[in-house]
């Protein structure tokens, strides 16, 4: 079941409130939460002041409303925090919070005494729980296919990972990621500015920007190598050696992870990176990171937490999907470990979690499995993460093992598929990918829906109506309005989700019945009089309207 966006916003706050507070002297960074966004110079009626045109276009194309979670953190609140001597390092509009560097207890007390501050939590220590990806000395035999003369590219040893999901079929149709934008959130992109495999990416100006959330600057090319190898699975272009699945897409390179750090701040950093990607208007976010275990055992993510509504990163991932972004996350490499489940944010709702298979389509034993704690199948799909051909920062090609490589192989393919079907929503694309996959109808928690077929997914999407174009033709009329105990509306499509919220964002309870295309909502007795907003989500888009209860 998809998560109600108002429940999601409440969970955003609760997730940080739940953090325990270790010794102040051991901490320098705090998550400071603000009470509201009152007095902001920004308004949802003028979103171009804080969202790019591309971000607004993505929302408009999918019938997504701009709401208060899009409003930036109030600058006057930031100024008040800085005036205490604390230093605001990063800020999160979705959580209405900031990462603040605090030197001592008196400074923290001053911050907490501000009338705009709801509370603060220290950033605690963690250690990564997922097993690392492994590089092989030589490619597996299954990766040594050669491309046929009929293919658009000379794929060399990378042909297997591309053709297994029929991404070469999309390339042959001319869809290679042109005009699609992918944000890669990772731990660094060592030597991407020099590596020959990215020559065309650099020469054509398709690295649109970089940001180091960890260090607070834009320099990402001297950090860890993991993100560089991940990027090569999508953007690599070395004929006869390696062709990525989206060799013509554009990219933002965002560093959220510090491999030398032991702080849980990476989850917060990830959310901030996702918010940045949203505001820049990216189409796709791909991330090969995951978290489960912390140094303070009471803070460990338990299996019960894997419900998409508990961990900070998972809530943020779901929020990104609600903004119309197609988000992919690696399942993790814990399949052979006592903790063999996926991590977070791989448990998030409405994203594509990617597991690993080898070149023959057999499940990789290291690939983490589901289900989620609330019973959803994970991973969603599986692609080649065992023997995946990648490029190292030194320009050498090798085969690697890890869902970290399976995920970007899929992400680039998604870019080509969505490029071919620009009128469809992220959820339509996700559902088409699942439906096209090899185990559709016989899903399990090793493979998910199975290995996708991008050309079949393309055909499925072309059979669907355009998301917003069709819905916008319909006028949603609520009656009676004002309403007393119930309200009705007519809709040709079956709603997948209906939510009611008051002007403060509090969710109101109701039950509903349907008779053909007419839906009648009966209010709960405790529902107060006032103005309410109704959001209706269908598989092809969404509506939002308002009414008065009296």
Just list the catalytic residues.
186, 226, 404
Return the closest-CA partner of residue 264 out of 306, 286, 287, 292. 292
Task: Say if residue 545 is exposed, middle or buried (CB neighbours under 10 Å; 0-12, 13-18, 19+).
Answer: middle
C-alpha closest to that of 117 among 96, 91, 92, 88: 96
**CA separation for the pair 346, 123 (Å, rounded):** 22
- How many whole angstroms separate alpha carbon 114 and alpha carbon 13? 18
Taking the CA atoms of 377, 382, 387 and 389 in sequence, report the sign of the dihedral they define: negative
Residue 370 and residue 335: Cα distance in Å, rounded?
10
Over 92-148, what HEC string results? ECCCCEEEEECCCHHHHHHHHCCCCEEEEEECCEECCCCCCCEEECCCCHHHCCCCC
**How far is it, in rounded angstroms, from Cα 543 to Cα 311?**
28
Phi/psi class of residue 446: alpha, beta or left (left: φ > 0; alpha: ψ in -120 to 50)? alpha
Give the whole-angstrom CA distance, residue 403 versus residue 132.
10
Q: How far apart are CA 203 and CA 221, in angstroms?
A: 16
Closest CA to 434 of 379, 359, 390, 515: 379
3-state secondary structure at position 508 = strand
Q: Is there a cis peptide before residue 305, judged by omega within 30 degrees of 0?
A: no
Q: How far apart are CA 414 and CA 326, in angstroms?
A: 8
End-to-end CA distance of the chain: 31
Identify the H or E element spanning 488: strand 486-490
Using DSSP, state whether 254 is helix, strand or coil. Answer: strand
Residue 212 tokens read as 């180091």
Q: Give the C-alpha separation, 387 to 389, whole Å.
A: 6
Which tokens in the block code for residue 288?
């090969």
DSSP structure class, residue 369: B
Q: Are residues 331 and 130 in contact, defined by beta-carbon separation less than 8 angstroms?
A: no
* Residue 265 near residue 196, CB atoms below 8 Å: no
Question: What tokens were used for 360?
Answer: 């023959």
Closest CA to 400 of 366, 352, 368: 366
Q: Which two tokens stand for residue 221?
A: 């090319």
Distance between CA atoms of residues 143 and 154, nearest Å: 14
Closest by Cα among 365, 370, 351 to 411 = 351
When computed from its CA atoms, the radius of gyration of the chain, rounded to whole angstroms, is 23
């Amino acid at each position: 079941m998809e998560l109600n966006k108002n429940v999601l916003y409440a969970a955003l706050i609760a997730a940080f409130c739940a953090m325990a507070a270790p010794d102040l002297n051991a901490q320098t960074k705090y998550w400071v939460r603000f009470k509201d966004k009152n007095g902001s110079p920004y308004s949802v009626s003028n979103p171009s002041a804080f969202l790019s045109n591309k971000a607004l276009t993505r929302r408009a194309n999918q019938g997504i409303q701009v709401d208060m979670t899009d409003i930036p953190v109030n600058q006057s609140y930031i100024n008040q925090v800085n005036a205490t001597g604390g230093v605001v390092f990063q800020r999160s509009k979705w959580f209405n919070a900031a990462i603040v560097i605090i030197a001592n207890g008196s400074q923290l007390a001053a911050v907490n005494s501000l009338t705009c501050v709801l509370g603060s939590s220290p950033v605690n220590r963690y250690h990564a729980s997922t097993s690392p990806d492994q590089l092989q000395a030589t490619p597996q035999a299954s990766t040594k296919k050669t491309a046929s003369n009929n293919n658009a590219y000379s794929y060399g040893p990378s042909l297997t990972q591309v053709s297994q999901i029929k991404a070469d079929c999309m390339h042959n149709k001319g869809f290679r990621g042109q005009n699609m934008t992918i944000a890669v959130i990772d731990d660094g992109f060592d030597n991407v500015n020099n590596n020959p495999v990215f020559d065309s990416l650099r020469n054509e100006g398709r690295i649109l920007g970089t940001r180091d959330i960890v260090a607070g600057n834009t320099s990402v090319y001297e950090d860890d190598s993991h993100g560089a190898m991940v990027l090569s699975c999508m953007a690599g272009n070395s004929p006869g050696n390696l062709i990525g699945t989206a060799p013509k897409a554009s990219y933002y390179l965002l560093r959220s992870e510090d491999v030398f750090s032991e702080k849980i701040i990476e989850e917060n950093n990830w959310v901030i990176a996702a918010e940045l990607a949203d505001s820049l208007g990216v189409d796709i976010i791909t991330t090969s990171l995951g978290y489960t275990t912390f140094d303070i055992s009471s803070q460990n993510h338990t299996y019960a937490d894997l419900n998409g509504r508990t961990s900070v990163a998972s809530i943020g991932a779901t929020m990104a999907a609600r903004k119309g972004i197609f988000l992919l996350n690696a399942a993790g490499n814990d399949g052979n470990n006592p903790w063999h489940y996926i991590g977070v944010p791989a448990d998030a709702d409405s994203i594509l979690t990617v597991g690993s298979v080898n070149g023959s389509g057999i499940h990789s034993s290291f690939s983490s499995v589901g289900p989620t704690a609330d019973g959803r199948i994970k991973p969603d799909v599986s692609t080649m993460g065992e023997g995946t051909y990648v490029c190292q920062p030194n320009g050498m090609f090798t085969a690697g093992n890890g869902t970290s490589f399976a995920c970007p192989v899929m992400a680039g393919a998604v870019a080509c598929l969505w490029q071919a079907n620009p009128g469809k929503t992220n959820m339509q694309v996700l559902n088409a990918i699942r439906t096209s996959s090899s185990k559709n109808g016989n899903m399990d928690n090793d493979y998910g829906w199975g290995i996708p077929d991008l050309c079949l997914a393309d055909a499925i999407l072309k059979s669907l109506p355009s998301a917003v174009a069709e819905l916008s033709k319909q006028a949603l009329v609520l009656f009676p309005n004002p309403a007393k105990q119930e309200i009705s509306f007519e809709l040709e499509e079956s709603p997948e989700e209906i939510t009611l919220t008051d002007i403060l964002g509090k969710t109101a309870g109701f039950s509903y019945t349907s008779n053909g295309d007419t839906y009648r909502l009966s209010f709960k007795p405790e529902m107060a009089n006032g103005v309410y907003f109704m959001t209706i989500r269908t598989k092809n888009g969404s509506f939002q309207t308002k009414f008065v209860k009296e």
